[in-house]
Chain A
């Protein structure tokens, strides 16, 4: 273990490219993801999407809308656990930046999420299916919002596994907002009602805002900004 000084000095040796590091990280990060939790959540979410078919012979549009929204919410709850890392303290001083690691995790989950959403949409009978593009926007907004909340928890707290609290908070907000938001914001209406289009503009804003929060919470600050200079 004795180290000859100068032997391994990296003077003049270029650090490897980010792409190489990320490529090598793929396998261990894939193993570190909460795969079983995500799979179980996705399974329950698919069950929810199948409920209109299971519960009634003649399901109507409204129940299809509710089921698809609830399925998207459930999957978003599972995503809140994607950024959990019990080894957070130990890996806090590595050169690979935190935002790269979290983005890699999300990138590994994304294909699975896309496949899951396709299956969920297909489970709704086509006759009563709400507009797929708009519903995909809603589901994407929910998913990114959940990930952004987890990223904010990582940025502002030292908790290595913030998933449970993030999921609980997200669920509470998701249940109270349809009751509290005014109807003419159009975010929780049905496709036949007038505010549907306006509502989906609002969903797009939520999606963009969530991406902005994700990006803002990614970097680890080099300096501490104090609110009250002492």
Chain B
């Protein structure tokens, strides 16, 4: 028996620091499993998936620009973040609620380490959100019709918001350890964020302090002109989330001097990171971007590349070059319905954008006065396709784009026939291209630049032509092309030439 006691017990202390870190990770694994199985978290994850499916199915008419898609991934994760906020808070308060703090408080793993484990437990849920963001972005990116470039900074905002929500829940649990505190604080935060005067995007330095910053308009511009400080904002959010979580850990009891020093140092580092990000994002739009925006708006040919498809040339911003083939298809369809010289005319389709205000506001684009030049914008699909089709048709019939705003005679019928006659569902396209979303009565017709007007009579003639179909109408169009495109030809004459019922009443333009 006496030999047992002479052994020194020093060997029992094997690397305590490493062991306590392993213990933190083990506890973090345990807590993250419990967090993932909580009902609010599961419910919100399901809601997030439903949101992704709903957003992706109905978005951008099947022609996404990735610099819009990355911003669209940001609001969905807030659903998950909200559940994480509530559940992390409840998890930290659990030992207080069930009166086990008296035991846990004196175990080997100190309270501050337990808080650190709770902080780490947020990571797996964030990982799931990362998967969701990747799926939502990837789903659009793999489409052959997608153009543009996404930004990693924008894509990170969603998951970082979830981290931030978890950090807030953690900190609140340490500051106000009462169960009603976090639901009530969550509502307050939400209402404050909704009601606080919001400055959109660019100018205001404080605007970027909120996690998700929207934009004034929903248009698409080339990704290098957007001017949003995505990377700085991501750094700011990371620093903020880390700082809040480290603060919560620092409040916990039982720290030694070295661990306090390490934690305080990390907190300082996180705050520094947040400040760097915050300063970076408040810097506003750089002068190079402003200059680039002006060039892109006023002299786009300096930055565009031009491609020939068939007879016509298509000039587009570098990111849209793949889409020129789609534009060419529509142009060729419209031209095939025309007659005379219009059938073989060489057109120049140029992409134009109003980028001088960045994403804050939208602006109209002046129609070009150059003959045989058509303007196309950055968005496509849905109503945008027949709008472009109408612009091509107007240039073929009238010679240039500007004339479209003044035309008020039977040539509108020719233009609308060329624009819609080749489509597979012409009546739906007619409804989409008209401002009033109707197929009867007078209305404005939208195009990439300025609009044109159709009277009620012209509308009914066009409806009849569309009902008759290209096989009957096209030969007549080609045969009477010169008369159909003569200035001041009346709608009645056009109707008679094409063999459909003439409308009552003369042409009256508003």
| B183 CB–A CB distance under 8 Å | yes
Q: Does B40 contact A169, Cβ atoms closer than 8 Å?
A: yes
B252 to chain A, nearest CB (A): 21
| A48 CB–B CB distance under 8 Å | yes
Chain B's interface size range is 20 to 34
A43-74 vs B, Cβ < 8 Å mask (1 yes, 0 no)? 01101100110011000000100110010011
B241 to chain A, nearest CB (A): 21
When C-beta atoms are compared, the residue in chain A nearest to B39 turns out to be A169
Q: Given the known A-B contacts A51-B195, A56-B197, A163-B179, are A171 and B188 also in contact in the complex, defined by CB atoms under 8 Å?
A: no
Chain A's interface size range is 20 to 34
- Please report which residues of chain A, range 82-133, place their CB below 8 angstroms from some CB of chain B when the two chains form the complex: none
Q: Does A78 contact B184, Cβ atoms closer than 8 Å?
A: yes
Q: Does B178 contact A37, Cβ atoms closer than 8 Å?
A: yes
Specify which of A45, A48, A70, A171 lies most central, judged by the most chain B CB atoms within 10 Å of its CB. Answer: A171
Q: Does A52 contact B195, Cβ atoms closer than 8 Å?
A: yes
Q: Please report the C-alpha to C-alpha distance between residue A193 and residue B179 in the assembled complex, in whole angstroms.
A: 38
Q: Given the known A-B contacts A52-B195, A66-B195, are A163 and B180 also in contact in the complex, defined by CB atoms under 8 Å?
A: yes
Q: Does B188 contact A172, Cβ atoms closer than 8 Å?
A: no
Q: Given the known A-B contacts A66-B194, A164-B97, are A176 and B40 also in contact in the complex, defined by CB atoms under 8 Å?
A: no
Q: Given the complex, which residues of A lie within 8 Å of B97, measured CB to CB?
A: 161, 164
When C-beta atoms are compared, the residue in chain A nearest to B178 turns out to be A37
Q: Please report the C-alpha to C-alpha distance between residue A186 and residue B215 in the assembled complex, in whole angstroms.
A: 28
Q: Given the known A-B contacts A48-B188, A164-B97, are A172 and B44 also in contact in the complex, defined by CB atoms under 8 Å?
A: yes
Q: Given the known A-B contacts A66-B191, A172-B40, A176-B79, are A164 and B197 also in contact in the complex, defined by CB atoms under 8 Å?
A: no
Q: Does B197 contact A41, Cβ atoms closer than 8 Å?
A: no
- Please report which residues of chain B, range 78-119, place their CB below 8 angstroms from some CB of chain A when the two chains form the complex: 79, 82-83, 86-87, 90, 93, 97
- Please report which residues of chain B, range 177-199, place their CB below 8 angstroms from some CB of chain A when the two chains form the complex: 178-181, 183-188, 190-192, 194-197
- Please report which residues of chain A, range 144-181, place their CB below 8 angstroms from some CB of chain B when the two chains form the complex: 161, 163-165, 167-169, 171-172, 175-176, 180
Q: Does B188 contact A47, Cβ atoms closer than 8 Å?
A: yes
Q: Given the complex, which residues of A lie within 8 Å of B90, measured CB to CB?
A: 164-165, 168
| B379 CB–A CB distance under 8 Å | no
When C-beta atoms are compared, the residue in chain B nearest to A163 turns out to be B179
Q: Given the known A-B contacts A164-B97, A172-B86, are A37 and B190 also in contact in the complex, defined by CB atoms under 8 Å?
A: no
Q: Given the known A-B contacts A44-B185, A164-B90, A172-B43, are A81 and B180 also in contact in the complex, defined by CB atoms under 8 Å?
A: yes
Q: Given the complex, which residues of B lie within 8 Å of A140, measured CB to CB?
A: none
Q: Given the complex, which residues of B lie within 8 Å of A139, measured CB to CB?
A: none
Q: Given the complex, which residues of B lie within 8 Å of A161, measured CB to CB?
A: 97
- Please report which residues of chain A, range 1-48, place their CB below 8 angstroms from some CB of chain B when the two chains form the complex: 34, 37, 40-41, 44-45, 47-48
| B47 CB–A CB distance under 8 Å | yes
Q: Does A168 contact B87, Cβ atoms closer than 8 Å?
A: yes
Q: Given the complex, which residues of A lie within 8 Å of B39, measured CB to CB?
A: 169
When C-beta atoms are compared, the residue in chain B nearest to A42 turns out to be B184
Q: Given the known A-B contacts A51-B192, A168-B90, A169-B39, are A44 and B179 also in contact in the complex, defined by CB atoms under 8 Å?
A: no
| A207 CB–B CB distance under 8 Å | no
Q: Please report the C-alpha to C-alpha distance between residue A74 and residue B33 in the assembled complex, in whole angstroms.
A: 30
Q: Please report the C-alpha to C-alpha distance between residue A67 and residue B457 in the assembled complex, in whole angstroms.
A: 51
| A77 CB–B CB distance under 8 Å | yes
Q: Given the complex, which residues of B lie within 8 Å of A176, measured CB to CB?
A: 43-44, 47, 79
B312 to chain A, nearest CB (A): 45
Q: Given the complex, which residues of B lie within 8 Å of A74, measured CB to CB?
A: 184, 187-188
Q: Given the complex, which residues of A lie within 8 Å of B178, measured CB to CB?
A: 37, 40
A33 to chain B, nearest CB (A): 13
Find A67's partner among B83, B87, B195 (CB 8 Å cutoff).
Answer: B195
A66 to chain B, nearest CB (A): 6
B93 to chain A, nearest CB (A): 8
B377-393 vs A, Cβ < 8 Å mask (1 yes, 0 no)? 00000000000000000
Q: Given the complex, which residues of A lie within 8 Å of B190, measured CB to CB?
A: 70, 175
B256-289 vs A, Cβ < 8 Å mask (1 yes, 0 no)? 0000000000000000000000000000000000
B212 to chain A, nearest CB (A): 16
Q: Does A51 contact B179, Cβ atoms closer than 8 Å?
A: no
Q: Does B195 contact A55, Cβ atoms closer than 8 Å?
A: yes
Q: Please report the C-alpha to C-alpha distance between residue A215 and residue B93 in the assembled complex, in whole angstroms.
A: 32
When C-beta atoms are compared, the residue in chain B nearest to A168 turns out to be B86
Q: Please report the C-alpha to C-alpha distance between residue A78 and residue B179 in the assembled complex, in whole angstroms.
A: 10
A-B contact pairs, 15 of them (CB 8 A): A37-B178, A40-B181, A44-B185, A51-B191, A55-B196, A67-B195, A70-B191, A74-B188, A77-B183, A167-B180, A167-B183, A168-B86, A172-B82, A172-B86, A176-B44
Task: List 7 additional A-B contacts (Cβ < 8 Å) besides A48-B187, A66-B194, A176-B44.
Answer: A34-B180, A37-B178, A74-B187, A163-B179, A164-B180, A167-B183, A171-B187
